[in-house]
Structure 1
């Protein structure tokens, strides 16, 4: 009898559709809820990030201006975050943000955690979801030393060199206009087959240079890469730590740090394109121009800031339109290899490197990407306008309040 009942039950398929439909509806409901929660999570992250960015920028601005205690700054930042979150979704519950202040850099970092209820409220999914976000902002530094390292090789002839002149002068004007007289300074070194050290060549090479002579390129103060123990650092010229003389270089010598826009523009106006592309030599001299270890070489008004000077920043703006293709001491590698190593050493000192590839081939782009170190400091310019915009953007980044994380 029991077997007959079991067989009858097995044959009875009434209600199967209802059960299957119920299971499908349950699955669909769960999938829909998860999709809604996922979208809600994304929107919440965006809302939190915007609120945190605004709060960290508020704090960085207050720190840069000075006159407030750490506790006062933290209170302002926390209030700014909560005020911004009030304009978002009303079902969020946010704890008190954690605010960290870096006295050395002026950075203001804000971390926050918020929770919100899920669609199904704990029935089939967690009752709430938690989201953590962070933001770091930095106020503009008061004291800034900048070295512009400019490619004036033969491929820069024509409209390209004119665009570079405009870009460099616009960038310098923005930098110098942003600070009090003397607080921000710019320098420049142009490179082609070598670098023209001008009157400073006698200190760099360790022997007098006849600047008035025209019998050979060395008489103009041309220098190549450094060799020996000083090849990869910025130690000051001394016995056994000289750079070496070169054979052809730009007609205009480098310009040490200056707060005079007129002096800078006069140097830039005389740039002339010609020769090869020894970019690594330009990079090295860009470093020397803003290195405190070279303070005895440069004029008193051009003395570089110390690496750890309070409220300061140092930057190199490097550009090329080609591939680094000239080097003079084979054991040290080709121009690209030397450039990459030099850039690594420079960044280790805290100097920022911004690089601009101006209609450059792939090889040149890769060199400049490596030198910048991070994507946000690398620019590609395919036109004169984009080159000018790049320099103006870099100047703004160096002198304006900004997010760094």
Structure 2
């Protein structure tokens, strides 16, 4: 072979014109396949996450509703299915040809307040795959998830609760609720009047009486969750212009002590919540309270609560109408919260400044209640009881 021929062949072999086009043609199907598989993988992961969240949420919601007796056992399965379907309703638009059907299993152990409900929610979600996957023979993708939740009324959750109650003069005002009273009936005129049986008349119920009812309901709720008096402790302190020894009910295992204390309150005087909040804070966070639980139930970390209530605003402090008492009260509220105490606050037909103090003292907006009627006050205390005796609800999948 001549040198000229050899040079031409060498030049031809070293020429790269058109190689990009050729390589692109070879790689394009591979890149397309990789891209479609990546889309399918992303969709599969997204669908699994959404289904898992829906299953978990449905299980948790159902056990909570059962434990609170808001639904019956016969309603539980349908409740869980509807909850799950509501959670995944928007997924029909997120995935092609999406479908998911839950299977709910309900079981329980124990009886009464110690009943433990177990709800299992299993579901298989299906979506249509992209073109390349269907080209190789796979039409749909199935993802299976399971969510299991257990729930029970936590009657064995140690807690200490102190009530800080307003007994100032305005608590003797009408609450807006009325009742009927039987009174003597008199007949005759002028000086010649004589008793001739009885009659009934409608009278206003003072706010202090509504408070007594609300406290009794709260104490009964706590007592119901702790029938053996081993886990829940309650105490109370009242205030008007001041807080004396007779205004204090130390925390004890017997919740009826709080009811008796509240029933003995009289509404009189001005308003100064500073010293009551200080005493309540010291009682619920003191080492003596922890020791009481350790010796009784072995817990060194009981849940701590303060329920702070007023129908007015502080008008006694360093000077009349000064906000000194507000600042001091808020100071002890902040110290209590820093020590891990949850503060519920209840305004009962209170003026603006009173509401502002209560709102600031509360452990958050969900812990502040603005009761404008007698019924709203009793409901607020009922809700506080249910929140304090928390549901033990946990996922077990």
Shorter chain as normaliser: what TM range?
0.5 to 0.7
* Aligned match for 2:238, one of 190, 198, 209: 190
Higher Cα radius of gyration: 2
Q: CA contact under 8 A between 2:291 and 2:300: conserved in structure 1?
A: no
TM superposition score normalised by structure 1:
0.52
1:147 aligns with 2:162: yes
**Structure in which a larger fraction of residues adopt strand:** 2
* Residues matched between the structures, number: 263
Summarize the Cα distance change of 1:86–1:356 in structure 2 as closer, same or farther, 3 Å threshold: closer
| CA apart distance, 1:147 | 0.7
| CA apart distance, 1:195 | 0.7
Q: Counterparts of 2:291 and 2:318 in 1: how far apart (Å)? A: 30
Summarize the Cα distance change of 1:398–1:140 in structure 2 as closer, same or farther, 3 Å threshold: farther
Q: Counterparts of 1:270 and 1:288 in 2: how far apart (Å)? A: 23
Unaligned runs of 5+ in 2: 1-48, 69-75, 86-97, 103-122, 132-140, 142-146, 174-205
Q: Counterparts of 2:276 and 2:52 in 1: how far apart (Å)? A: 48
| CA apart distance, 1:326 | 2.4
RMSD: 4.8
1:105-155: CA deviation from partner (whole Å, max 9, x where unpaired):
xxxxxxxxx99789x9879xxx9xxxxx9x998945532211110001111
TM superposition score normalised by structure 2:
0.53
1:394 aligns with 2:384: yes
Counterpart of 1:349? 339
| Aligned pairs for 1:76-155 within 5 A | 88=84, 91-92=99-100, 139=154, 141-155=156-170
| CA apart distance, 1:379 | 1.0
Q: Counterparts of 2:83 and 2:267 in 1: how far apart (Å)? A: 56
| CA apart distance, 1:271 | 0.5
Unaligned runs of 5+ in 1: 1-40, 62-79, 95-113, 128-132, 199-251, 296-301
Q: Greater CA deviation, 341-350 or 145-154?
A: 341-350
Q: Counterparts of 2:254 and 2:83 in 1: how far apart (Å)? A: 47
Summarize the Cα distance change of 1:87–1:309 in structure 2 as closer, same or farther, 3 Å threshold: closer
Q: Counterparts of 1:182 and 1:275 in 2: how far apart (Å)? A: 35
Q: CA contact under 8 A between 2:151 and 2:391: conserved in structure 1?
A: yes
Counterpart of 1:368? 358
Q: CA contact under 8 A between 2:342 and 2:363: conserved in structure 1?
A: no
Counterpart of 1:275? 269
1:260 aligns with 2:250: no
Q: Counterparts of 2:304 and 2:83 in 1: how far apart (Å)? A: 39
Summarize the Cα distance change of 1:347–1:267 in structure 2 as closer, same or farther, 3 Å threshold: same
